[in-house]
């Protein structure tokens, strides 16, 4: 059951398209490489992203036991996502009793054999966010891109979690730069300054800037996380460093 | 099945929270005493319930004591107090006589169903024990179990016929139902496609064949022996144990007064003629042959268990039901429009395959 999980980290952003799921999946695999048993709950029940990112890995198919969905498993990584289910989920109304019930079957009642559970949250602030944040105590890892247009939504979402008195581990600045193949110079496509415009202003820690890697989207159709195929890359090492910070700073639940 | 065109379901097959809350209140549960389980187990695979059950809205409820119930709405095409009384009393009586029907729960007022006014119309919902079991996998043991269950079911229906008639249940027959389904299929195709010559040709062919089969059935005494029938006795309305025996029969929304050959032929055609997309009730591929060995086995087991039908009626009734199910497939767009021309003679294939 969810109550048995000692560490829970929400990977979250107020804005869509910043790479939350990519960060979540790669962080999970980095934690796995560090010897941890890791769970991922894909909280975007209507539009799950996680299964597509790992379909090149030999995950087992989920099945049901006692009306609870047993997650897909590969080595010590368990993933619970509607994206793995036998039929594609249509655009149903995941609200009210149906939302609570789906969370029961996909998350709360699941037998998580994990040291740490990452919850990949959809963007925004909705019934789902309120339900999870108020019922499941966890820490927040924010993901953004250095775009001023993202900051407003991220600021709102930081405000939202602060008012719920949730612990914020810090902010990852994703797709912060592209590195020139010839001279190695960092090319900043976006003009925002996450450290000063966002983090300093809201008193949350700026953790890392992550490079925008074309290989991530090139390998995406194969469903293999970046840290799995580019173990020695600087970005993979940053994920490793991020995993250490997450382990150290996320609270141990009683 | 008695089908007319239905309105768009804006809840996409899910029972609205408001209806469920009102119903559970009538069964004595407070709002925080229960949750809905949207995913069901189809042979160990998880599926959203509204993908599995397309004509009748259902919800699986789990109470705080871990008791599991099915809340089921009586579908739009038979939604009335009279039918609710009939359908649920029928099931209750069968259960009392030892047949495998999941227990129906009574409301605090002692009624077998709730009447809820929602969105400006009346809805009839009942609660039944949720039977945990497996879906049909077409094994020999399962098919034989279906025959055994059907024989027992029909003997009990005959025994309580006089009790059920008092409820004035709907009366119909396979020929009328096939005709109605053809009408729906034609309507749906004409609405969707500009060129609908194919469906009009098939429609004319099928109507002619239904009339032929009906004439034969009348000559053989079809309308002389009627009683309550399930009306949709197909393997997807049965729950099986892991050993393959029938644990429960569900979904009596299509129950009518008709000749019991209706249920036997529905089972035969579903088991021996049509193919299904994996873990769904949707048809896959045009039927190209009838599994006569399976049909023979089924009928033999049914006979051994003292089945009560007139076997002479099997070919013409099974062929008619084949047309009905083809029409259903067309209406649901299970087949490509261009495949309609391949549907001619499927009913003949069934007729002659089952003759003798």
**A96 touching B (Cβ < 8 Å):** yes
**Number of Cβ within a 10 Å radius of residue B134:** 18
The whole-number pLDDT of residue A89 equals 56
Average the pLDDT over each of A40-54, B32-46, B137-151, B264-278 and give the range with the smallest value. B32-46
Does A67 contact B50 at a Cβ distance shorter than 8 Å?
A: no
Cβ-contact B85, B252 below 8 angstroms: no
Does B38 contact A102 at a Cβ distance shorter than 8 Å?
A: yes
Give pLDDT tens digits for A142-183.
999 998 888 888 888 999 899 999 999 999 999 999 988 888
Does B12 contact A90 at a Cβ distance shorter than 8 Å?
A: yes
The whole-number pLDDT of residue B196 equals 83
Does A67 contact B17 at a Cβ distance shorter than 8 Å?
A: no
Average pLDDT over residues B206-228: 97
Residues of chain A with pLDDT under 70: 86-93
* Residue to substitute from B13, B15, B44, B48, interface A, most A β-carbons within 10 A: B48
Average pLDDT over residues B122-137: 93
Nearest residue in B to A109, CA atom: B37
Give pLDDT tens digits for B38-88.
998 877 778 888 766 666 889 999 999 999 999 999 998 888 999 999 999
Instruction: Tell whether the model's pLDDT for residue B155 goes beyond 70.
Output: yes
Whole-number percent of chain B with pLDDT over 70:
96
Task: Find the helix packing angle between B197-219 and B346-354, rounded to 10°.
Answer: 20
| CA gap A159, A153 in Å, rounded | 10
Contacts of B68 in chain A (CB under 8 A): 67
Q: What is the ipTM of this complex?
A: 0.86
Query: Angle at the Cα of A13 (from A7 to A18), degrees rounded to 5?
Result: 120
| pLDDT tier for residue B4 given thresholds of 50, 70 and 90 | low
**A98 touching B (Cβ < 8 Å):** yes
The whole-number pLDDT of residue B77 equals 84
Contacts of A97 in chain B (CB under 8 A): 17, 20-21, 35-36
Q: How far is A107 from chain B (nearest CA, A)?
A: 12
Six-digit token pair at A217?
A: 């989207």
Instruction: Tell whether the model's pLDDT for residue B258 goes beyond 60.
Output: yes
**A107 touching B (Cβ < 8 Å):** no
The whole-number pLDDT of residue A10 equals 97
Average pLDDT of every residue of chain A: 90
Instruction: Tell whether the model's pLDDT for residue B240 goes beyond 60.
Output: yes
Nearest residue in A to B9, CA atom: A92
Instruction: Tell whether the model's pLDDT for residue B181 goes beyond 60.
Output: yes
User: Three-class SS string for chain A?
Assistant: CHHHCCEEEEEECCCCCCCHHHHHHHHHHHHHHCCCCEEEEECCCCCCCHHHHHCCCCCCCCEEECCEEECEEECCEEEECHHHCCCCCCCCCCCHHHHHHHHHHHHHCCCCCCCEEEEECCCCCCHHHHHHHHHCCCEEEEEECCCHHHHHHHHHHHHHHHHCCCEEEEEEEEEEEEECCCCCCEECCCCCCHHHHHHHHHCCCEEEEEECCHHHHHHHHHCCCHHHHCCCCHHHHHHHHHHHHHHHHCCCCC
Average the pLDDT over each of B33-47, B95-109, B227-241 and give the range with the smallest value. B33-47
Cβ-contact A155, A202 below 8 angstroms: yes
| pLDDT tier for residue B2 given thresholds of 50, 70 and 90 | very low
Whole-number percent of chain B with pLDDT over 90:
77
The whole-number pLDDT of residue B35 equals 94
Contacts of B40 in chain A (CB under 8 A): 64, 67
Instruction: Tell whether the model's pLDDT for residue B1 goes beyond 60.
Output: no
The whole-number pLDDT of residue B336 equals 85
Does B37 contact A63 at a Cβ distance shorter than 8 Å?
A: no
Give pLDDT tens digits for B292-342.
999 999 999 999 999 999 999 999 999 999 999 999 999 989 888 888 889
| CA gap A137, A111 in Å, rounded | 17
| Closest partner CB to B48 (pick from A67, A92, A96) | A92
Instruction: Tell whether the model's pLDDT for residue B154 goes beyond 50.
Output: yes
| CA gap B11, B257 in Å, rounded | 32
Average pLDDT over residues B283-293: 92
This prediction's pTM? 0.88
């Amino acid at each position: 059951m969810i109550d048995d999980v000692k560490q829970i980290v929400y990977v979250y952003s107020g804005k869509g398209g910043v790479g939350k799921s990519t960060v979540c999946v790669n962080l999970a695999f980095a934690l796995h490489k560090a010897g941890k048993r890791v769970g991922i709950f894909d909280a975007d029940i209507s539009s799950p992203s996680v299964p597509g990112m790992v379909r090149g890995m030999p995950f087992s198919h989920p099945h049901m036991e006692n009306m609870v969905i047993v997650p897909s498993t590969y080595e010590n990584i368990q993933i619970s996502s509607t994206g793995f289910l036998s039929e594609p989920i249509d655009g149903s109304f995941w609200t009210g009793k149906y939302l609570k019930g789906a969370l029961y079957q996909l998350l709360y009642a699941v037998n998580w054999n994990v040291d740490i559970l990452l919850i990949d949250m959809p963007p925004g602030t909705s019934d789902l966010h309120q339900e999870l944040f108020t019922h499941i105590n966890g820490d927040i890892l924010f993901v953004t891109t250095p775009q001023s247009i993202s900051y407003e939504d991220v600021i709102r979402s930081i405000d939202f979690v602060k008012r719920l008195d949730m612990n914020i581990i810090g902010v990852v600045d994703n797709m912060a730069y592209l590195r020139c193949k010839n001279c190695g110079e960092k090319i900043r496509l976006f003009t925002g300054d996450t450290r000063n415009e966002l983090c300093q202003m809201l008193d949350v820690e700026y953790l890392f800037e992550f490079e925008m890697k074309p290989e991530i989207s090139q390998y995406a159709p194969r469903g293999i996380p970046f840290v799995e195929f580019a173990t020695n890359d600087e970005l993979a090492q940053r994920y490793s460093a991020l995993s250490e910070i997450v382990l150290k700073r996320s609270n141990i639940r009683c | 099945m008695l089908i007319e065109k239905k309105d768009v379901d804006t809840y996409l097959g899910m029972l609205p929270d408001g209806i469920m809350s009102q119903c559970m209140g009538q069964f004595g549960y407070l709002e925080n005493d229960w949750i809905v389980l949207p995913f069901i187990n189809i042979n160990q695979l998880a599926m959203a319930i509204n993908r599995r059950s397309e004509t009748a809205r259902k919800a699986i409820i789990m109470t705080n004591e871990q008791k599991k119930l099915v809340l089921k709405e009586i579908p739009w095409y038979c939604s009335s107090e009279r039918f609710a009384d009939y359908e649920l009393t029928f099931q209750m009586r069968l259960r009392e006589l030892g047949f495998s029907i999941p227990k129906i729960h009574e409301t605090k007022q002692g009624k077998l169903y709730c009447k809820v006014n929602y969105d400006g119309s009346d809805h009839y919902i009942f609660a039944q024990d949720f039977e945990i079991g497996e879906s049909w996998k077409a094994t020999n043991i399962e098919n034989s179990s279906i025959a055994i269950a059907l024989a027992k079911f029909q003997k009990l229906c005959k025994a309580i016929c006089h009790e059920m008639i008092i409820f004035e249940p709907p009366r119909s027959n396979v020929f009328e139902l096939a005709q109605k389904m053809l009408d729906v299929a034609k309507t749906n195709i004409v609405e969707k496609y500009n060129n609908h010559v194919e469906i009009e040709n098939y429609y004319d062919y099928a109507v002619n064949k239904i009339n032929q089969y009906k004439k034969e059935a009348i000559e053989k005494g079809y309308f002389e022996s009627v009683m309550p029938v399930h009306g949709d006795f197909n393997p997807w309305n049965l729950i099986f144990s892991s050993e393959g025996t029938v644990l429960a029969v569900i979904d009596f929304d299509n129950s009518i007064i008709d000749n019991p050959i209706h249920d036997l032929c529905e089972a035969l055609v579903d088991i021996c003629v049509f193919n299904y997309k994996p873990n769904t009730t949707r048809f896959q591929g045009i039927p190209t042959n009838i599994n006569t060995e399976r049909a023979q086995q089924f009928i033999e087991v049914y006979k051994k268990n003292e089945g009560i039908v007139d076997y002479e009626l099997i070919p013409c009734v099974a062929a008619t039901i084949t047309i009905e199910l083809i029409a259903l497939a067309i209406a649901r767009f299970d087949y490509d429009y261009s495949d309609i021309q391949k549907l001619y003679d499927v009913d003949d294939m069934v007729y002659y395959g089952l003759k003798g």
